[in-house]
Amino acid sequence: MMLMVSVQNLHEAKQAMQGHADIIDVKNLQEALVGSAKPTIFKSVRDAVPSEIHASLTLGVVPNQEGTVAMAVWAAGKMNATSVKVGFMQAEYEKSVEILQASKEALEGTETKLIGSLFADNVLYKGGLDPHLMPKLARDGNCDGWLIDTLTKDGRNLFDFIPESELKDMVMEGKSDGMSTALSGHLKMSDLDELARVNPDIVGVRGAVCSRGDRDNGVYWESVAEFKHQVELRKFGEIDVLQNPLEVNNLVSSNTSGWIVIDGTGKNCAGIIAALSEQIKQDNSSLIEVVIPGILNIYDVIVWAENSGHKILNQRKENEGTLRMLVQP
């Protein structure tokens, strides 16, 4: 899991970087429910953030206007945003697909990734687009990934609207599609065990990493660092959150015409599963040895393999939190 911290200005971005956030997400929390930062603010952040750290731009709840949204997305691409998030609240499904497709077209020639977004609490609003449609909407809209967030400010968070088991299924569906998956929505340190079991590629926070836990007080680097540390403890199994412990064996297997190695080092879980799926699509006779970092990613690859009917022939621990797995399609 990567840590994404929402910031509103350059000062907060520097605090997030000092706390070793993986993604600096620029948004405007004062505009409507959530809106976009001004171009000058995002540019100042983008210029200050090193290339190895992601700088993403959130457009917030977008209007049902294809051209207007595509133009904003185009601007994000021109400013070299790592990704741009397009969110829908009270919207028709087909119109949302059209807006996302136009947004993807607007990003042609750039490296900016398109992230579709729905809100878990859309059910509270008349005409709110069902958040359970997120994986399908992302596929139909040609997105590179998706985010589920919340809009309410009444103390409820993501898990109050969508239970852990449903989020797990949605995240696994997204990973199987090769999408990056992100969860946010008033998440706190106390939600980390549930989040780790769901294991999205990205966890987004703000209030939890602000001074005294108040989102209006601004991002504070020490809080970011502590949240990141707690994510890492779960990611590599130093804090065990899995209900069913992983069994690692050394059973070797069968003859095969080939042997392929996929190194997942530095990849997120969606990237590992996408690489496995693509390899099997091209060649379903060779064994695949995959290097998987992080106990949570290991667990999800096992679940993916079992759900897809593939056999796990061998699992061998290497360095702490890293495993080599042999998969037979």
Catalytic site residue 104? no
pLDDT at 230 over 90: yes
Residue 132, Cβ neighbours under 10 Å: how many? Answer: 18
Architecture per CATH, 259-328: 2-Layer Sandwich (3.30)
Q: Per-residue confidence at 252, pLDDT binned at 50, 70, 90?
A: very low
Alpha-carbon distance 65 to 212, whole Å?
A: 39
Give bridge partners of residue 128 from the DSSP assignment.
Answer: 90
Mean pLDDT of 203-228: 88
2-235 CATH, one of 3.40.50.720, 1.20.1260.10, 3.30.1330.30, 3.20.20.380: 3.20.20.380
Calculate what percentage of the chain has a pLDDT beyond 70: 93
Q: What is the pLDDT of residues 133-191, one digit of tens each?
A: 999 999 999 999 999 999 987 889 999 999 999 999 999 999 999 999 999 999 999 99
| Per-residue confidence (pLDDT) for residue 152, from 0 to 100 | 86
pLDDT at 24 over 50: yes
Q: What is the pLDDT of residues 281-297, one digit of tens each?
A: 888 888 999 988 888 88
Question: By the 8 A CB rule, do 166 and 197 touch?
Answer: no
Mean pLDDT of 114-135: 96
Catalytic site residue 85? yes
For 266, the 3-state DSSP assignment is: coil
Q: Dihedral (C-alpha) 298, 191, 233, 241: value to the nearest 10 degrees?
A: -50
> Of the listed 27, 175, 235, 267, which one is catalytic?
27
Question: By the 8 A CB rule, do 114 and 155 touch?
Answer: no
Mean pLDDT of 105-131: 96
> Of the listed 38, 78, 85, 126, which one is catalytic?
85
Domain positions in the chain are 2-235, 259-328
Question: By the 8 A CB rule, do 202 and 181 touch?
Answer: yes
